[in-house]
Amino acid sequence: MDRIVTFGEIMLRLKSPGHDRLLQSPSLEATFGGGEANVAVSLSLLGREAVYVTALPENPVADAAVGELRRYGVDVSFIRRTKGRLGIYYLEAGADQRPSNVSYDREGSSLSLVRPGDFDWAAICRGAAWFHVTGITPALSQGAADASIEAAALAKQAGCTVSVDLNYRKKLWNYGRKPPEVMRELVKCADVVIANEEDIQRCLGIEPVVAEHAAGSPDVEAYRNLAGQVRAEFPNLSHVAVSLRDSRSALYI
Amino acid sequence: MDRIVTFGEIMLRLKSPGHDRLLQSPSLEATFGGGEANVAVSLSLLGREAVYVTALPENPVADAAVGELRRYGVDVSFIRRTKGRLGIYYLEAGADQRPSNVSYDREGSSLSLVRPGDFDWAAICRGAAWFHVTGITPALSQGAADASIEAAALAKQAGCTVSVDLNYRKKLWNYGRKPPEVMRELVKCADVVIANEEDIQRCLGIEPVVAEHAAGSPDVEAYRNLAGQVRAEFPNLSHVAVSLRDSRSALYI
Amino acid sequence: MDRIVTFGEIMLRLKSPGHDRLLQSPSLEATFGGGEANVAVSLSLLGREAVYVTALPENPVADAAVGELRRYGVDVSFIRRTKGRLGIYYLEAGADQRPSNVSYDREGSSLSLVRPGDFDWAAICRGAAWFHVTGITPALSQGAADASIEAAALAKQAGCTVSVDLNYRKKLWNYGRKPPEVMRELVKCADVVIANEEDIQRCLGIEPVVAEHAAGSPDVEAYRNLAGQVRAEFPNLSHVAVSLRDSRSALYI
Amino acid sequence: MDRIVTFGEIMLRLKSPGHDRLLQSPSLEATFGGGEANVAVSLSLLGREAVYVTALPENPVADAAVGELRRYGVDVSFIRRTKGRLGIYYLEAGADQRPSNVSYDREGSSLSLVRPGDFDWAAICRGAAWFHVTGITPALSQGAADASIEAAALAKQAGCTVSVDLNYRKKLWNYGRKPPEVMRELVKCADVVIANEEDIQRCLGIEPVVAEHAAGSPDVEAYRNLAGQVRAEFPNLSHVAVSLRDSRSALYI
Amino acid sequence: MDRIVTFGEIMLRLKSPGHDRLLQSPSLEATFGGGEANVAVSLSLLGREAVYVTALPENPVADAAVGELRRYGVDVSFIRRTKGRLGIYYLEAGADQRPSNVSYDREGSSLSLVRPGDFDWAAICRGAAWFHVTGITPALSQGAADASIEAAALAKQAGCTVSVDLNYRKKLWNYGRKPPEVMRELVKCADVVIANEEDIQRCLGIEPVVAEHAAGSPDVEAYRNLAGQVRAEFPNLSHVAVSLRDSRSALYI
Amino acid sequence: MDRIVTFGEIMLRLKSPGHDRLLQSPSLEATFGGGEANVAVSLSLLGREAVYVTALPENPVADAAVGELRRYGVDVSFIRRTKGRLGIYYLEAGADQRPSNVSYDREGSSLSLVRPGDFDWAAICRGAAWFHVTGITPALSQGAADASIEAAALAKQAGCTVSVDLNYRKKLWNYGRKPPEVMRELVKCADVVIANEEDIQRCLGIEPVVAEHAAGSPDVEAYRNLAGQVRAEFPNLSHVAVSLRDSRSALYI
């Protein structure tokens, strides 16, 4: 009982070479990315049995995305091939004072068109130990939000530990709902929440009662307090993980 | 009075390197393509003053498309930056028995969202000698079809010679109209039509009364007859150009 | 009962870019090749369930070979990871008068070290409809030859149709056996043989009794006669396929 | 009397582009590397007359290795073309927490098959001022170890200053001898030894009597003591050079 | 009244890939560079109307330089196509202890052949707010020096603010004049001077009366004093900008 | 007595990738070319001892040219490093109707600045069997023409067979002499002339007395007659070789 299931959107990731601006040369590095797919691939490379669930259109580029997951040993047998597009994001690595930049072209993606009932979660989670989802999918559309909550609830019923990486993205959430309305419902189905301070504020509407930290180095105690606030509001959670990332230069991506 | 105006959609053209299948290596050649933009660039390289008109979204990849046109000396001052996406097409060059393949990802493109009145054709065509449009734009949406016919009519009023390249594409025309309903109206505004036999059948609903040609080499007389049929139905036309292309191998693209 | 099993060696294929000589630029195209693996990948792309069986060492490049097969949907669960090396071949595409050239670096490869009993053919062929092997593997070593014959015999017992592509390679067969001593035994286990005229002479020791063909175009009747000779000697065969390939220029590889 | 002779193995160095995993894209950077060849090339670029001695097979990739040495002005006239293979190493540059990784595929290399008497050291060292060898060659095979010691002894007789870079590699030394049994004999023929602390322990079996250094910065005095221990055991040495390298990140290779 | 005019030489910039030595692989990154063109492109990208003035030969590589400027929206209508060559510079990015290196191949460039009267500065500067030139152009030839001074003087007359980036380059100034003889005359036409300490010494012959700075961090007061000295000698200047650049490693270019 | 000496100009050859226009992408393939250097490299690859003589400047790109020749085993010890530049030619491979195009940037090249007496031909040709020169060098400058004739005459004296490839290039010969004035003098020193019909007309001023050939296939007899005319005028020649090249498409370069 070792399988791990992740659910989310995989996109074509088009990056200009090195630190070029987009299309400065007529070439793009073309790979696939998406937080939940990355988790599945990493777990598979570490030797775990990983299942990745998503919706993709029927076309050669989506075929290539599936092939890439399969190459890393991910179980792709529950991916549904449906209407809609393959989402795309363009990436430009920064240099010196110029920051890195991401442009999305993911409207109308197959995953944004899913609805509850589209996936047979009982079958998918049979024998699975863990189910992982992020706050990206609920940010795409009402249908994707509803499908995420349904998936987490059914995974929980099927005996999975459920983890949610809040992963707030300001450029998404354009379909009319406020993040906390949706995300608080999702977190109620979870055992583990992964977040940073901004995620907790934006997605759960929880403001830290203790100031974050003095200038310079992170104040571990303040983060411990914040995690405690989250667990106080969501007693169903066994763990709250706070991730800190220090970015030194746009030259490294 | 030398300016030439073309109107249509420019798309990001993503091609796998050499004769690779798509994403066989994690790289794509990224250029821009579109019949009407190609005409504008070619005329500019040949020393003519060319104006390209289209609608594009506000994002870095569309900026790059505009920059590329400008690099070749095309006048981009009438391009409108609007809602919608930048259309994309994926291209895979064939090899041996495997044919080349094109996949479109152009739904919701900015140009498919245009409507009559979106462009100031009187200003655009002031001082222009020629206006060129193809059957691709009318195949995208009712709005784009209406805008094409409006453009051709107003260009004609402004004193332009109007050319239409019928350019029938089976994968388009999905918005509910039959090609001849739209294209016959467009051709009524034209002076010059460019087409092959299939274009004439599909876009104008005209069947050749003389059989095409004996096996082997093209029968010039049969094409002359076909052109005569077109001019008989559309007495407004001064010229009908029939293009023939012989493809020897998928290795050359 | 649709599975197809192929057995052979997969190698790292290192090719100089374009028509360069090897190492003219400090870069090599690095893919994987091997007749039996190519058959498995092609069948999988065409929608069949394909199983590829081989022996590979434990190292990152062999891992990549397995990942590549998995990406195309090939079942890699019966590949054994053993001692020995991953074979390599270097390829240089010809140009003008210079012919293409292949250099092997495959001595001590994992597959050349296999012996009868190393694979559980009963389990591998359970439910399989077809088993395919070539004359490359028996050319590597006595152990590989014995293992090939064992595999074909057990596949036959398991109910598979067995095909053998003779595929004579002059640069191999260095371990002391004459090809017909080995290959005739292998063909006795087969239902289908694939070969050209030289393969039949070198691998089976059968000389055509009718002259090949007049200059210019292939003499179909002569090939039919040759196939008849093979079937007369090996009445177990249901089909003999003769492949003809016409090479026009070293520029196309 | 200015010529410098180095002796060792040159290998094909296959590196994945940038910080990719091996074969993540179907391309490898292909250059040649080997400590002793690097010394010869660097000295030649600095204007010295450098002679590189090794054994290589007869094939186009080994030809390219020789050509590359010649390009940098190294005298390749004493390289022997013999049986065996060209050794290969695969390199993957690390990223973030993932360390860089080297995989060897050098078994059966031409140099590992050499024996004493294979090279005419009297002729090679005529007029040479310096002879350089490392602890890599003796780690390959008994024959290569014996040939290294013979070379150093004859170079010394011919009037050369002899330097040995101990260069301990845990992944080698698989042929049955313990490093000190071989390396101590080699160092007895030398004038100069280059090493770090681990090299001295593993190759010479000498344990530092003074603890290396306090945390943080290197303790120069401790290294001076260690060098003194080496010279005490090997009074033939005029110099012991200790190299220290500080690696800050796997991103720089 | 928003246009900005810059005047100088644009060259083909040929750089070896990554940190390679020149021609280590048979490929060069080919872009265009020149301080004044870089200023025009940057201002255009920031939304200003920028005019770049230079002299270039009639050939396809110079055509490409013009196209590249046009792509970024720079007004190229005043570029003159004349006799002479397109200047070239080769660039090799350093690594570790090896510094970066630039090799010029710019003798006989079209811009080095210009003379006063070659450009119609009254027309070029009509409606322009700013004119920018550097100390590179006057370093090329007597004609280029005279043309620079003429341009600055006429731009001033036309109402432009005139800026001069002194930009001293030891490898230039080979035509017989001492930099201060020329540059002091140019600065007399300017409103703004951009320089570092060496530029001020070499181009203006002004020695700092206060020592530069204590070791470690720059002494702002010393630079303020130096700027004051420049303004004291050239009361026409409204601003003196001193640029400081700290280079940490040749790895970043 | 087996050495072959060739004398001429080697240039940096900058080619746009594939069939791109120049600088369509910001990359150029950078190799070295020149008819006489190509002959030396080819002979060296075929196992002959080849000496290449030229003049080159002192800079890293010229160093790379010398290294490249050395890599292929060519003797570069007589190359002189002098004043002047390294010549460059830009190459763009044609496609479809667009022909291939070469742009020269070779004015002021080191070889164009040579004069008689610059090379010690007696030393260079000592022990050489053959000396080869082309009509390119005499087309560069009066000095290069005089040096070519001197070289051929002294090579002849030294006992070499002298070959001249006429190689007429319309874009050269700009220094004021008519080709026959120079080339006839050069051919008088030769034993072997290589040419096509146009070369013979332009370089030697000899018009064919028999019409070239009927349409379709080359008329061997006409070429034999033409060669006879050349030998009649230059009785010193032992052989006249006429080269015919049939170009089918600009796609192959």
- CATH number of the structural domain spanning residue D84: 3.40.1190.30
Q: Which residues pair with C56 in a beta bridge?
A: C81
Is residue F252 situated within a structural domain? no
Which segments within A95-138 are labelled E, that is strand?
101-105, 128-134
Q: Cβ of C27 and E26 within 8 Å?
A: no
Tell me: the pLDDT tens digits for A66-98? 999 999 999 999 999 999 999 999 999 988 778
Q: Cβ of B71 and E71 within 8 Å?
A: yes
Measured between beta carbons, which residues in chain B are less than 8 angstroms from residue A109?
none
Q: Cβ of C70 and A68 within 8 Å?
A: no
Measured between beta carbons, which residues in chain B are less than 8 angstroms from residue A107?
85, 108
For residue A112, the model assigns a pLDDT of 98
Measured between beta carbons, which residues in chain C are less than 8 angstroms from residue D110?
none
Q: Cβ of D26 and B24 within 8 Å?
A: yes
Domain that holds residue F151: 3-242
Is residue D40 situated within a structural domain? no
Contact by Cβ (8 Å): E41, E8? no
pLDDT band for F191, please (50, 70, 90 cuts): very high
Measured between beta carbons, which residues in chain F are less than 8 angstroms from residue D70?
70-71, 73
C101 and C134 inside one domain = no
pLDDT reading at F139 higher than 70: yes
pLDDT reading at F184 higher than 70: yes
Q: Cβ of D92 and C60 within 8 Å?
A: yes
Q: d(Cα E58, Cα E55) in Å, to the nearest integer?
A: 10
- Backbone angle region of F99, left / alpha / beta, with phi > 0 → left and psi within -120 to 50 → alpha: beta
List residues of B whose CB lies inside 8 A of any E CB.
Answer: 67-68, 70-73
Tell me: the pLDDT tens digits for E150-187? 999 999 999 999 999 999 999 999 999 999 999 999 99
pLDDT reading at E80 higher than 70: yes
Q: What is the mean pLDDT of residues E227-247?
A: 90
Average pLDDT of chain D is 93
Contact by Cβ (8 Å): E117, E86? no
- Closest CA–CA distance from residue F72 to any residue of chain D (Å): 6
Q: What is the mean pLDDT of residues E80-96?
A: 94
For residue B95, the model assigns a pLDDT of 85
Interface test with D, best of F31, F44, F71 (most D CBs within 10 A): F71
Q: d(Cα B121, Cα B128) in Å, to the nearest integer?
A: 11
Measured between beta carbons, which residues in chain B are less than 8 angstroms from residue D25?
25-27
D218 and D177 inside one domain = yes
Q: Cβ of C70 and A71 within 8 Å?
A: yes
- Closest CA–CA distance from residue A138 to any residue of chain B (Å): 22
Split into its structural domains, chain C has a count of 2
D213 and D178 inside one domain = yes
Measured between beta carbons, which residues in chain B are less than 8 angstroms from residue A62?
none
Interface test with E, best of B49, B68, B70 (most E CBs within 10 A): B70
Sheet holding A88-92, edge to edge: A101-105, A88-92, A11-15, A27-33, B27-33, B11-15, B88-92, B101-105
pLDDT band for E211, please (50, 70, 90 cuts): low
Please state, as a whole number, how many other Cβ atoms lie within 10 Å of the Cβ of residue F5.
Answer: 28
Q: What is the mean pLDDT of residues E207-234?
A: 79
Q: Which two tokens mark E105?
A: 């191949």
D100 and D153 inside one domain = no
The CATH number of whichever domain residue A65 belongs to comes to 3.40.1190.20
Which segments within chain B are labelled E, that is strand?
3-7, 11-15, 27-33, 50-53, 55-56, 80-81, 88-92, 101-105, 128-134, 161-165, 192-195, 239-242
Please state, as a whole number, how many other Cβ atoms lie within 10 Å of the Cβ of residue F232.
Answer: 10
Q: What is the mean pLDDT of residues E209-214?
A: 60
List residues of D whose CB lies inside 8 A of any C CB.
Answer: 14, 21-23, 26-31, 59-61, 64-65, 67-68, 85-86, 88, 90, 92, 101, 103, 105, 107-108
Q: Cβ of B67 and E67 within 8 Å?
A: no
Is residue A134 situated within a structural domain? yes
Average pLDDT of chain A is 93
Chain C: touching chains (3 or more CB pairs < 8 Å): A, D, E
pLDDT band for B219, please (50, 70, 90 cuts): confident
- From residue F52, alpha-carbon distances to C35, E5, F34 in Å are 45, 50, 11
List residues of D whose CB lies inside 8 A of any B CB.
Answer: 24-27
Contact by Cβ (8 Å): C135, C179? yes
| Cβ-proximal residues to A200 (8 Å cutoff; 6+ apart), any chain | A166, A206, A208, A226, A229, A230
List residues of C whose CB lies inside 8 A of any E CB.
Answer: 24-27
pLDDT band for E253, please (50, 70, 90 cuts): very low
CA angle A122, A128, A129 (to 5 degrees): 130
Q: Cβ of D107 and C103 within 8 Å?
A: no
Q: Cβ of D67 and F67 within 8 Å?
A: no
Q: Tell me, what amino acid is at A3?
A: R
Of residues D135 and F2, more confidently modeled: D135
Taking Cα atoms as reference points, which of C119, C62, C117 lies closest to residue C86? C62
Which segments within D144-226 are labelled E, that is strand?
161-165, 192-195
Tell me: the pLDDT tens digits for F146-173? 999 999 999 999 999 999 999 999 999 9
Is residue C199 situated within a structural domain? yes
Q: d(Cα A14, Cα A92) in Å, to the nearest integer?
A: 9
For residue E218, the model assigns a pLDDT of 63
Average pLDDT of chain E is 93
Is residue F247 situated within a structural domain? no
Q: What is the mean pLDDT of residues E221-232?
A: 92
C66 and C146 inside one domain = no
For residue D96, the model assigns a pLDDT of 78
Query: Three-state SS for E198?
Result: helix
Q: Cβ of E27 and C25 within 8 Å?
A: yes
**Chain B residue whose CA is closest to D20:** B26
Q: Cβ of B71 and E67 within 8 Å?
A: yes
Q: Which two tokens mark B23?
A: 């994403």
Is residue D252 situated within a structural domain? no
Measured between beta carbons, which residues in chain E are less than 8 angstroms from residue B67?
71-73
- From residue B8, alpha-carbon distances to B38, B142, B242, E234, F195 in Å are 10, 14, 21, 57, 53
Average pLDDT of chain F is 93
Tell me: the pLDDT tens digits for B78-120? 999 999 999 999 999 988 778 899 999 999 999 999 999 999 9
pLDDT reading at B253 higher than 60: no
- Closest CA–CA distance from residue E31 to any residue of chain C (Å): 21
| Segment D211-220 long-range contacts (CB within 8 Å, at least 24 positions apart) | D218/D244
Upper half-sphere CA count for residue E64 (Cβ side, 13 Å): 23
Is residue A25 situated within a structural domain? no
C71 and C151 inside one domain = no
Is residue A157 situated within a structural domain? yes
**Chain F residue whose CA is closest to D72:** F67
| Cβ-proximal residues to B86 (8 Å cutoff; 6+ apart), any chain | A105, B11, B12, B56, B57, B59, B61, B62, B65, B109, B110
Q: What is the mean pLDDT of residues D110-130?
A: 97
Measured between beta carbons, which residues in chain E are less than 8 angstroms from residue C27?
25
Q: Which two tokens mark C61?
A: 């490049």
Helix B35-45 crosses helix B60-71 at what angle (to 10 degrees)?
Answer: 30
For residue B222, the model assigns a pLDDT of 86
Helix (H) or strand (E) holding F195: strand F192-195
Q: What is the mean pLDDT of residues B183-193?
A: 98
Q: Which two tokens mark D12?
A: 């094909």
**Chain C residue whose CA is closest to D58:** C103
Q: Cβ of D68 and F72 within 8 Å?
A: no
Measured between beta carbons, which residues in chain B are less than 8 angstroms from residue E58?
none
Helix (H) or strand (E) holding D103: strand D101-105
**Chain A residue whose CA is closest to B90:** A61
Q: Tell me, what amino acid is at F231?
A: R
